[in-house]
A and B are shown apart, each in its own frame.
Chain A
């Protein structure tokens, strides 16, 4: 999608529809990799697009693709939802995704959620990582973004992302090799598309 078009999605229904159709499956999969309940997933999908509609000014084409930008929004939205769950949710709820689910949708949504079970296990295992490290790791490992895209989505420099990714992988590997896990470390390696140069601090 062109940059000019992205800027218009907040006020141009046609531009928004094109953007939505292009990304709704990706967003739903993104959510399903993190959230295992249908209603929450539906609510989050709605929230992510609402946030995109209202945050077009934050998109900078030099930082990454519209998809990376959207993933950044999605990540923050999911993280915020996780933390505020159980508390009163502030803000608007003008579009509640969960109210839009019909019987016919359930099979498709559950299939998507089932398909991402392994990813959610990995996601849960990341809980003990530092937030900054986790952010980069989940975007690269769970969502298949490149390091530079993940950096853009997480709002850090690529070099910072690389350092964090390296640390996160090391920690998670140690974590997963421990006795209490179900996800295996190979899963991490397998999703790694190509070797990333590791830049340690100070070098």
Chain B
């Protein structure tokens, strides 16, 4: 930290000098800035633990332009302390699969790197609450880009057909877990992981997809008719109806490629 204590300057000017130093540092080290961006961003957004310790039922599936929508799960943020060193775990298994666990939405770049080291080309994007990546991010052959039918949650079937993933996203006490088979992912394919914190820290939405071909960077846009808060309030506990209430229609005209249906592939069932 710079020690700027100009006696004549006001607090505002001194703060500006400090912050300018941060910006200059970032300008000089774009890569470091990226890492920092995700971790700081996480600090801001993730430290919003559940107001009442609510557990959140799985609530949406990402699909649409996805070639293979594996599943979507909900990452319950149980703690406000974001230790980036344990934000994720990438563990190659004996059977050739790679087990991925995401325990907090921080260090997207680190997860990307860890996946690359495990032989999986990945694109990991964490967006702010209420935001989603603009779709489509890649040209899918099996889906209509943009408009059209959201993929219905038959993620396990799709995944099995593609042979690229094993199982589905499961929710554990510490986060979400899924497995992938690097050999099943083609040289031009990219594992696309997107996640955004739920509002009020009630739970985070994690989507895992496999894209064929180039993937454009995540361009965060408002999740539009997919207000996570609206759904959150519907799922106050086991047995809470997903389809009742004022937000019933929210999924009908939402973000292209994102459907608001509960993810059947996720581990926690609420009905």
Q: List A residues at the B interface (Cβ < 8 Å).
A: 9-13, 16-17, 20-21, 24, 28, 42, 45-46, 49-51, 53-55, 57-58, 60, 62-63, 72-73, 76-77, 79-80, 83-84, 87-88, 90-92, 94-97, 100-102, 104-105, 108-109, 130-132, 152, 154-157, 160, 163, 201-202
Contacts and interface: CB of A to CB of B under 8 A. Distances in A.
B271 to A, nearest CB: 21
A50 B41 CA distance: 9
Given A20-B16, A57-B220, A87 B43 contact: no
Interface stretch (B46-54, B92-100, B150-158, B182-190): B46-54
B20 interface: yes
A55 B220 CA distance: 11
Given A77-B44, A83-B49, A88 B81 contact: yes
B10 A105 contact: yes
B251 to A, nearest CB: 13
Where chain A touches its partner, the secondary structure class is helix
A9 B23 contact: yes
B37 A57 contact: yes
A76 B45 contact: yes
Interface stretch (B111-119, B140-148, B225-233): B225-233
Contact of B18 (A21, A46, A63, A132): A46
Interface residues of B, number: 58
Nearest to A46: B15
Contact of A53 (B11, B19, B47): B19
B19 A16 contact: yes
Nearest to A16: B23
A132 B229 contact: yes
A94 B4 CA distance: 13
Nearest to B29: A11
Contacts of A21: 16
